[in-house]
Amino acid sequence: MTNHKKNKVHIIGIAGAGMSALAVLFKDAGWIVSGSDENVFPPIPEYLKKNKIKFSKKYSSNNIPKDTNLIVIGKNVHLSEEENPETRAALAWQRNLPAGRQVKSLPEALAMLSKNTENWVVAGSFGKSTVTALLAWCLFKAKRDPSYFIGAVPIDLKKSSHLGRGEVFVQEGDEYPSSNWDKRSKFLNLNPSSVLIISGEHDHVNVFPTEKSYIQPYKKLVTKIPKSGLLVYAKNSKNSKEISKHAKSKIISYALEDKKADWYGQNFKFSKVTSFDLMNHGKKIISIKTPLLGKHNMENIIGAGALLLENKKITPKEFTRAIEKFSGIKRRIELLNKKGSVLIYEGFGSSYEKARAIFEALKLHYPERRIVTVFEPHAFSWRNITFLPWYKDIFKGLDEVIMLPAVSRGKKAQGQLSSEDIWVEAKKHFPIHITKGEKETLKTLKKIVKKNDVIALVSSGSLFGLTKSVPKLFNK
């Protein structure tokens, strides 16, 4: 990797999961890093502080160092040129650029940092953070010193990004637009040698109004894989097979238990530690043990194994040893308390599939326990009339449901639902409890939670601070 000790980068929107990971990559590469953000919430500010990266907590044109070489601007409604004074200053700065200075989006900056490596891109509507972390962890445990970029905070790896000395750079590839001025999907700026497609389930309706428009960027992504490269795709995930047809490289499929896939699992025994056999074309490769929860995570392990072993980067024994010690990603069915009879998990529920995966995983691994959820309809899709039917059965099989308000961010979009609209619809299908903040939620939990219950805190937002106060309440 090239050393850029004298170079300075300023990151606007630095406290996002992906942007903070990018900040650490620049620091690893020897750059001096500064940045700014507002209305931030854990765990990112603590993560930046741990990595000794300071940032301003109020946007201002004065935040940009006069001698900076590069400005990276995030993709967020509050970072638009119209709304953000710092973005306006950065883009004005770009229009009058001296030689050697530039403005980039996150994926453009990532492509710049990974131009000399063998890049593996993990893409899909769900599971990509977990699988990216899983691949990086396995390579790390096999002493391959990979570079990696994860758009979330891993539990086992010390950082969510790293510039290593190994040949492989594992990257989480996002289908969301690159920036407020570049509508291309982020992953189309990357240069993959291998791609793993987990799913193509329609998501981000505010950007991709139809399923056809959603999978179009994925088709373009797989055409970027060179003929000498590899595409690994989930055989039974929606749209993934159709996407795979556009690749010119070698193509490998994987599935949970489907023997028609190239890689699959067999002899599953679900428990606190789940075990199964990893199979390739009918042949047992290795036995796997994992503390991860849910069938979706077993399939994630199989997909990661297919990519690693087909590319001959590690041995089956190295793979199974690494999996046994892999704890996952923060906020992805993460156990928040180690003591007490009530287990408390946090899950990232930004879509129907992600939320259902959380609930089904907990029911699968704890069949004898009651499942109580605190649910915040935070993501755009949960607050959009198009996806109102999600509330018909999202809470199916749960024992108690507490619903928080839908806090809108930015201007009210077309088809956006109010909290009351959502509560009325959800009540038609499930006897929910409504709370409007942290104190009221804690009070309700004290009333309804019984010994040996499992609590699932589900949101893609801050959950009003409940991820800290709920474990504290039940650890007493």
pLDDT digits (tens, 9 = 90+) for 254-277: 999 999 999 999 999 998 899 999
pLDDT value of residue 412: 61
Q: Is the pLDDT confidence value at 235 over 70?
A: yes
Domain over 332-475 is classified CATH 2.40.70.10: no
Q: Outline where 40-127 has alpha helix (H).
A: 44-50, 85-95, 106-113
Task: Dump pLDDT digits (tens) for 377-402.
Answer: 999 889 999 999 999 999 999 999 99
Domain(s) labelled CATH 3.40.50.720 in the chain stretch across: 8-104
Q: Is the pLDDT confidence value at 10 over 50?
A: yes
pLDDT value of residue 408: 64
Q: Is the pLDDT confidence value at 36 over 90?
A: yes
Please tell me whether the overall predicted TM-score, pTM, comes out greater than 0.75 for this model.
Answer: yes
Q: Which of 46-60, 65-79, 93-107, 152-166 has the lowest mean pLDDT?
A: 93-107
The more confident residue out of 133 and 43 is 133
Q: Is 321 buried (19+), middle (13-18) or exposed (0-12) by CB count in 10 A?
A: middle
pLDDT value of residue 3: 47
CB 223 within 8 Å of CB 195:
no
Task: Dump pLDDT digits (tens) for 407-438.
Answer: 765 556 678 899 999 999 999 999 999 999 99
Q: Across the chain, what does the average pLDDT equal?
A: 93
10 Å Cβ neighbour count for 209? 12
Domain(s) labelled CATH 3.40.1190.10 in the chain stretch across: 108-324
Task: Dump pLDDT digits (tens) for 121-164.
Answer: 999 998 999 999 999 999 999 999 999 999 888 999 989 999 99
pLDDT value of residue 97: 65
As a whole number, mean pLDDT of residues 188-211 equals 93
Q: Which of 16-20, 77-81, 91-95, 321-325 has the lowest mean pLDDT?
A: 91-95
Burial 135-160 (b: 16+ CB within 10 A, else e): bbbbbbbbebebbbbbbbbbebbebb
What's the Cα-to-Cα distance from 425 to each of 381, 387, 389, 436, rounded to whole Å?
Answer: 15, 11, 9, 17
pLDDT value of residue 1: 45
Task: Dump pLDDT digits (tens) for 326-363.
Answer: 999 888 999 999 888 999 999 999 999 999 999 999 99
Between strands 118-123 and 194-197, the pairing is parallel
Whole-angstrom distance, CA of residue 46 vs CA of residue 38: 14
CB 238 within 8 Å of CB 199:
yes
CB 44 within 8 Å of CB 153:
yes
Helix (H) or strand (E) holding 445: helix 438-448
Q: Which fold has domain 8-104?
A: Rossmann fold (3.40.50)
The one-letter amino acid at 128: K
DSSP character for 314? S
CATH top-level class for 108-324? Answer: alpha beta
